[in-house]
Amino acid sequence: MIKAVIFDLDDTLISERKYIESGYKHIASLLNFQGIGTQDNLYNMLLNLFEESPVNVFNRLFDSLNLSYTASDIRKLVNEYRNHFPTINFFDDVVPCLNELKKREFKLGIITDGYAISQKTKLRSLAASNYFNEIVITDELGREYWKPHQKPFEIMREKLQVEYEEMIYIGDNPEKDFYISNIYPIKTIRIDRQGVYRDREYMKGIREHYAIKDLDSFLMLLDNWTKI
């Protein structure tokens, strides 16, 4: 019997694209304050550079503006991006789903990768602690424990006091979110939010048990399980 539903964060509960846009707006505002271009133009340049490639966007921005810069300049912008308090929201289907799961007395958790400071500010912006029993930010354990490592799942199982076969994990990234089912008997579900990492390859070919388009579909799936 399922007792706990665990979620990934980025492109599962929130749009990673919206977080990126929020970060670029912050950076554009900072650079504008320093007298480097207009805020709207800088923001659009950042987005266009990201569309071309997500690699070294800030370096390439300075290159495009024919401005000299140092490694320290880039580090400062990266830190500002990661530390900014984002303007983000849950996808529309998230809170209704969480409320329904809580009403049914499921235990709820999040396991999320990403730099700890960024994930913490996202979670604070969302007031996520109001909805979830436990949250594991893998970066706080160490970079080597980011998914697909099993340690965050072991910690979550212990925190929620459930067995692995009583857990569901819902994520979006084929590269790291579903391999856990090859280690522990955790049911995995892939939600397709048309996110940033949707085209990644499955790790060692390990696929999700079920695929859904939204969390309304997940509740229907859960209803079918409870009837079995």
At the fourth CATH level, which superfamily is domain 4-15+88-227? Answer: HAD superfamily/HAD-like (3.40.50.1000)
Q: What three-state secondary structure class fits 154?
A: helix
Give residue-wise pLDDT tens across range 119-177.
999 999 999 999 999 999 999 999 999 999 999 999 999 999 999 999 999 999 999 99
Starting at the edge strand found earlier in the chain, the sheet holding 187-191 runs 134-137, 107-112, 4-7, 167-171, 187-191, 210-212
- Right CATH for 17-83 from 1.10.150, 1.10.8, 2.70.98, 1.25.40: 1.10.150
Domain coordinates of the chain in residue numbers? 4-15+88-227, 17-83
Would you state the pLDDT for residue 223? 83
Residue 195: is its pLDDT beyond 90?
Answer: no
Would you state the pLDDT for residue 228? 41
- On whether the CB atoms of residues 139 and 113 are closer than 8 A, the answer is yes
Give residue-wise pLDDT tens across range 181-193.
999 999 999 999 9
Who's near 5: CB < 8 A, 6+ residues apart? 101, 106, 107, 108, 109, 167, 168, 170
Residue 227: is its pLDDT beyond 60?
Answer: no
Would you state the pLDDT for residue 226? 60
Residue 54: is its pLDDT beyond 60?
Answer: yes
Give residue-wise pLDDT tens across range 56-67.
999 999 999 999
CA 20 to chain centre: 11
- Model-level pTM greater than 0.85? yes
DSSP tag of 215: H
Radius of gyration of the chain (CA): 19
Give residue-wise pLDDT tens across range 24-46.
999 999 999 999 999 999 999 99
- On whether the CB atoms of residues 4 and 107 are closer than 8 A, the answer is yes
Residue 136: how many CB atoms within 10 A of its CB?
19
Q: Evaluate whether 4-15+88-227 and 17-83 have a shared fold.
A: no
Give the chain's mean pLDDT: 95
